Structures are given as C-alpha cells and as structure tokens.
Amino acid sequence: MLEKALQGEPRYWGWLVLLLVGIGAGFGAYSVQYQQGLSITGMSRDVSWGFYIANFTFLVGVAASAVMLVLPYYLHHYKTFGRITILGEFLAIAAVTMCILFIIADLGKPQRVNNVLLHPTPNSVLFWDMIVLNVYLILNLVIGWTILGAERKELPPPKWVKPLIYLSIPWAVSIHTVTAFLYAGLPGRGFWLTAILAPRFLASAFAAGPAVLILLAMLVRKLTKFDAGKEAIQTLAKIVTYGIILHIFFFFLEVFTVAYSQIPSHLTHLKYLYFGYHGHGGLVPFMWTALFCGFTAITLLVVPQWRKNEGLLGIAAVLTFICTWIDKGMGMISGGFVPNPLHEVTEYAPTGLEMLVTLGVYCVGALVLTVLYKVAITVKEYEELGGAAPAPH
C-alpha cells in the first residue's frame, strides 16, 4: 500500500520537500544540542523540564484522542465515523512518533536510552510510559494498516483484529493517564499533586485531538476528492464541545480546591501563572489568552447554528487548539516548576534552538501524517469513484 505515497501531484511533493527542509533544520539544531548538551535550551536547575516535555505531554493527548473515533465506530457501530476512523488512527501514529522523538530530544544521554530496558524499573512511571506508548503505537499501526488493506481489497477485515481494536480503547486512556502520573505522584510539586490531573489531561486531549481532526478533515476535503462528510464533522464538533467544556470545568475544580484551601505550596503556582509571582509573570498573558480562547470556543460550539456553520466551526477548532496547547504546552510544565520547592522563582522560556528542534519534530510528525493520509485517502478516493481505476500517471 505504501507505493500509493510515491505518486502525487507537484504540490504533494512540494509539501514533502518543505517538511524535509524543516526536519533538516531541526536536525541541525539537534546536532548542536548533541555537541553542547542541553545547555543550549532555556531549561535550568529549577525548571528542569521545558518545551520538549510539554509538547510531548500535549501530543500524548492528541494520540489518545483517536479513541473518540474508535469507540463510537467499533463499540457503538456508529457508521458515520466509518470513513474517518482511519484518519484518527493515523493521527495517533504520527502523534506517538513525535512523543518518542521529544523524549529522545530531552534526554541528556540519548545514547544510553537502552538502559531503560537493560535495567527495567517497574516503580518508575517513566518505565510504564515507555511501555504504554510503544504498545499504543504498534496497536494503531497494525489496526490501521490491516483495516485499510482489507478495505482496499473490498474484503471484511480479518477477525483477529477485533480484539486488538477493543484493547486499543482502554489503552488510549492509559497512555494519557500514565503520562499524568509522571507528574501527579511527585511529593514536592503542589501544582501537579492532584488526583484530577489525569482527568484534566484526558478532557483537554478529547478537545484538542478531535479539533485537529476537524481541521484535517476540512483540509483533506479541500485538497482531495475525499469528503469525510458533514455529519461526521458535526459529530466531531459535539465531541470537541464536551471536551473543551470539561477541560474548563476541571480547571475550575482545581482552582477552587487550591484557592479556597489557600495552601501556599499549591496556590503559588496558580498565582504565578495567572497573576505573576514576586514580580515574575512571563506566562500571564498566555494563560489569559488560553482562557479567553477556551471560553470563545465554548460560545461558538454550544450554539447549534454557529456550530453547524463550518466557517465558525473552523474558528472554534483553532481556538480550542490554542487553548489546550497553551494549557499543556506552556503552563502545565513551567507552572509546576515555578516557584521551586524552596519557593524561589526561576522563569523558563525556550531558546531559538530549542524551538527549532521542536519544529523539526513537528515536521517529522507532519511527514508521517502526510504519507499515511496519502495512502488512506488514495484508497478511499478509489472507493469513492466506485472502484474505477485510478488516473494513470
């Protein structure tokens, strides 16, 4: 099937070349980091995780959100999602690929990463995160590829793939839960020490992932003959609506507990993020932007006429993405480290090289996504045309 990714129009190849340029830039920046160590990043003794881990966390959510398509389609036989479930599964593959690259980019000694397998340590959440992420990647590859292959041959998918699909549903929840456990079990970090961290992560993921899918489906419709269908997009929109409302609701649950109890080791982080702390407030404008985007998205999504207007829906999807990305990609990691356990403030901002490495990883993800979508959409287009032979090249 992969050969379908080798045929395309000039704009397809142009896009791939553009992505390769981005990957090259990221790789160049990474080789500087490899030579000079993580000193080229904005991370510090106090804020020891930064942009890489934040983006990793966000993308684990995007990967997990594939379950929002798989579950209705396979568990509830919601046929409308039949056409786009594969897009969700392939988005998950691209997202997990990026997650793994972000982890590697963040390691001080990437050449020793095998030590995690050579000295397996079940009491470390990172050990479990490695397992759930890799298994999730394999599950989605096997399921997506098998089902698409069967579809191409116009055969029903093989029976053995069913149990794997059922397994992939709780597994999707597990990847983001375990990722939340990375943070939620640390005794000295009041911002993360909350049982609602995993639900918060999942809610924002179930908003962000389907929002990305809505935008991708709109883009695919514009660029190819494949149309996901209005109804499928509208159902995704409803999922985003519930997701973003839950995300904001859970955020306020956290705010209440922290603000009403007024325990400083929990409260100071929120103060830093939303009002600034001891004269440091680098993230304040971003955090309020996120809240503003979240509320605007909710407004656009809850009113049925607005949600059904695809132009407004597109805007709501973009706003949802911005809201959840700032929340996880900027606030969630820095917020936990500032102030540090000694109540000292060291702020964090990524450096240019750090952002370039990040860009490179996103370009790898976009490349994987493009190639996989190209294969899937070529198969779907062929079906669309009622089995007519594809245009000769």
Residue tagged 């992932």 (tokens): 209
Q: Kindly state the smallest distance separating residue 32's Cβ from another protein, in Å.
A: 13
DSSP H or E run through 119: none
3-class state of residue 277 by DSSP: strand
| Size, binding site for another protein by CB under 8 A | 47
The contact mask relative to another protein for 9-48 (x = CB under 8 A, - = no) is ---------------------------xxxx-x-xxxx-x
Single residue of 14, 158, 188, 390 touching another protein by CB under 8 A = 188
Cα–Cα distance, 333 to 329 (Å, whole number): 7
Judged by CB, which is closer to another protein: 43, or 96?
A: 43
Residue pair 383/93 in contact (Cβ under 8 Å)? The answer is: no
Distance of CA 245 to the CA centre of its chain: 18
Residue 262 makes contact with another protein by CB under 8 A? no
Neighbours of 69 (CB within 10 A): 27
Q: Which of 312, 262, 323, 233 lies closest to 287 in space, CA to CA?
A: 323
Single residue of 110, 158, 304, 390 touching another protein by CB under 8 A = 110
Single residue of 4, 83, 176, 189 touching another protein by CB under 8 A = 189
Residue 304 makes contact with another protein by CB under 8 A? no
Residue tagged 């936990």 (tokens): 336
Residues within window 49-78 making contact with another protein, judged by CB under 8 A = 49
* Cis amide prior to 392 (ω within 30 degrees): no
Q: Kindly state the smallest distance separating residue 60's Cβ from another protein, in Å.
A: 16
Residue pair 193/172 in contact (Cβ under 8 Å)? The answer is: no
Residue 180 makes contact with another protein by CB under 8 A? no
Single residue of 121, 238, 256, 303 touching another protein by CB under 8 A = 121
- What is the separation, in whole angstroms, between the first and last Cα of the chain? 17
Neighbours of 223 (CB within 10 A): 14
Write the single-letter amino acid at 103: I
Residue 390 makes contact with another protein by CB under 8 A? no
Judged by CB, which is closer to another protein: 116, or 246?
A: 116
Residue 265 makes contact with another protein by CB under 8 A? yes
Residue 352 makes contact with another protein by CB under 8 A? no
Residue 222 makes contact with another protein by CB under 8 A? no
Q: Kindly state the smallest distance separating residue 41's Cβ from another protein, in Å.
A: 8
Residue tagged 């966390």 (tokens): 57
3-class state of residue 188 by DSSP: coil
Judged by CB, which is closer to another protein: 148, or 182?
A: 182
Residue 179 makes contact with another protein by CB under 8 A? no
Single residue of 18, 20, 21, 113 touching another protein by CB under 8 A = 113
For another protein, which stretch binds (CB under 8 A), given 119-127, 226-234, 363-371, 374-382?
119-127
Distance of CA 103 to the CA centre of its chain: 14
Residues within window 325-344 making contact with another protein, judged by CB under 8 A = 336-337, 340-344
Judged by CB, which is closer to another protein: 130, or 137?
A: 130
Residue tagged 């129009």 (tokens): 9
Sign of the torsion formed by the C-alpha atoms of 108, 112, 118 and 119: negative
Cα–Cα distance, 72 to 62 (Å, whole number): 17
Task: Provide the binding-site residues for another protein, judged by CB under 8 A.
Answer: 36-39, 41, 43-46, 48-49, 103, 106-110, 112-113, 115-116, 118-119, 121, 123-127, 130, 182-183, 185-189, 264-265, 336-337, 340-344, 346
